[in-house]
Amino acid sequence: MGIEKHRNILDYTLLSLLRRKFKNIGIILVFTFVIFIVGSILFLSYSFKREAYLILKGSPEIVVHRMMAGRHELTLLSYMKDIIEIPGVSKVEPRYWGYYYDSMTKANYTILSMGETVMKTSRLLKGRLPEINEKNSAAIGKGVARARFIDIGNVFSLQSADGSQMVFNIVGIFETDSELMTADLIVLSESDFKRLVKMPEGMATDLAIYVYNETEALTVARKIRERFPDSRPILRDEIIRTYDAVFGWRSGLVLTLFIGALAAFIILAWDKATGLSAEEKQEIGILKAIGWETSDILEMKFWEGLVISLTSFLPGIILAYLHVFFFGASLFAPALKGWSVIYPEYRLAPFINFYQVATLMAITVIPYIASTIIPSWKASITEPDIVMRG
């Protein structure tokens, strides 16, 4: 048996689909939209996930918080000398960071300082970072610069804990390429930070712990917990996994959009699966009566499902890619921005997860084809003599 027969059946299927142009174009549009939305979510969340993984590799291996009465509390620097004693620990450094609410712009900034500056310049930093004890200088993120209309060389002020205004020279601005990590940052020197927030001596926000061997991080964390029961160590592993969860399929982002799209798809498939119209049944009878086999009818239905679902799936995926990676997922931006005043500008990295795309294809194309074939099954196996009786 040659290939010609199958092409002939496909020819007829296409002809038959074109007869109900509006209905079928409608189905294709809805189907494409569903794929577009779901595909966009998949691309977006996977891209964030992968970027988080690649970038947060630079995070401290362990961060140790101190808890008091169920609250995050400042850590005592005196913990450091005990922690450094733990075998496997290579370095312990204090972290100074917190938030600053700017009532003028209604924006929240993340303020922080670093200990000793290892890296003073970077391709991603215009200017430089403040020195450890340098007074009244700051490096800021692009988002802060946008919110306050300031640039390198300008000054801006923050209100310190005692009510006085502290003025800062902007010595550095993080470049646009780094906004995903730096948009809302204000980096100060350690002494300025402590002055701004009035942090008592001998305290730090939390501690960053480095180990010689990454695989021992968990053991070290356990030992820290044993030594300081009020501490809460967070492993870098957990940091990365948190982002897996934020952008995983169970996250709100994915679920909210997913459920809507899924509902639309189910309605679509349901409409198909709940049976043939009398007209369609009769057409099947006629085809059988004039010499089509059951398998020919089923093949026609298979083509029908395949044509509709492929004609929807492929453009849907293409549009999703363009939407997310060329237009910055602009349709989702309102949801992603939320109420934030400072919002990073970023170009998502076009990571494609083939497994996800293949799964999406499998859970849409195959059920759709099935919901096209199965209802016609019964009509196609009945004896065609019914058409003799109108």
Give the angle subtended at the CA of 27 by the CAs of 24 and 30, to the nearest 5°: 150
Nearer of residues 9 and 74 to another protein, judged by Cβ:
9
Residue 33 or 343 with smaller CB distance to another protein: 343
Chain centroid to CA 202? 39
Residue closer to another protein (CB basis): 33 or 273: 33
Cβ 189 to another protein, closest distance in Å?
Answer: 13
| Residue placing its CB nearer to another protein in the complex, 161 or 349 | 349
Handedness of CA 123, 126, 127, 131 (dihedral sign): negative
Between 58 and 200, whose beta carbon lies closer to another protein? 58
CB of 164 to another protein, least distance (A): 25
Q: How many angstroms separate the CA atoms of 46 and 125, rounded?
A: 27
Of the candidates 202, 208, 234, which has an alpha carbon nearest to the alpha carbon of residue 116? 208
Three-class secondary structure assignment of 257-284: HHHHHHHHHHHHHHHHHCCCCHHHHHHH
What are 264's strand-pairing partners? none
Of 267 and 385, nearer to another protein (C-beta) is 385
* Residues 254-283, interacting with another protein (CB under 8 A): 256, 279, 282-283
CB of 266 to another protein, least distance (A): 22
The residue (of 228 and 265) whose beta carbon lies closer to another protein is 228
From the list 24-32, 69-77, 149-157, 192-200, the region that binds another protein by CB under 8 A is 69-77
* 311 binds another protein, rule: CB under 8 A: yes
Among the listed residues 78, 201, 355, 388, the single contact to another protein using CB under 8 A: 388
Q: Enumerate residues 368-387 that contact another protein by CB under 8 A.
A: 383-385, 387
**Judged by CB under 8 A, which of 76, 273, 289, 361 binds another protein?**
289
Nearer to another protein, 266 or 387 (CB): 387
Interface with another protein (CB under 8 A), residue total 129
Check binding of 33 to another protein (CB under 8 A): no
Q: Which range, of 22-30, 154-162, 251-259, 260-268, touches another protein by CB under 8 A?
A: 251-259
Among 30, 150, 341, 361, binds another protein (CB under 8 A): 341
Q: Please state, in angstroms and rounded to a whole number, the distance separating the CA atoms of residues 225 and 217.
A: 12
Give φ, ψ of 381 to 5 degrees: -95, -10
- Closest by alpha carbon to 300, among 311, 284, 312, 314? 284
Exactly one of 30, 203, 246, 266 binds another protein (CB under 8 A); that residue is 246
Q: What is the dihedral of CA 374, 378, 379, 385, to 10 degrees?
A: 160
Shortest distance (Å) from residue 317 CB to another protein: 7
Least distance to another protein from the beta carbon of 344, Å?
A: 5
Between 240 and 273, whose beta carbon lies closer to another protein?
240
Q: What is the per-residue binding string for another protein in 39-58, x denoting contact by CB under 8 A? A: ---------x--xx-xxxxx
Q: Min. distance of Cβ 319 from another protein in angstroms?
A: 10
CA angle 125, 117, 240 (to 5 degrees): 70
Question: Of 74-133, which residues contact another protein (CB under 8 A)?
Answer: 93, 95, 99, 107-108, 110, 112, 114, 117-119, 122-125, 129
Q: What is the dihedral of CA 18, 22, 23, 24, to 10 degrees?
A: 50
Taking CB under 8 A as the criterion, the residue among 325, 367, 371, 373 binding another protein is 325
* Residue 245 or 366 having the CB closest to another protein: 245
- Exactly one of 30, 127, 154, 225 binds another protein (CB under 8 A); that residue is 225
37-59: burial string, b at 16+ Cβ within 10 Å, e else: bbbbbbbbbbbbbbbbeeeeeee
Considering only residues 135 to 194 of the shown chain, the ones binding another protein according to CB under 8 A are 141, 143, 174, 177-185, 187
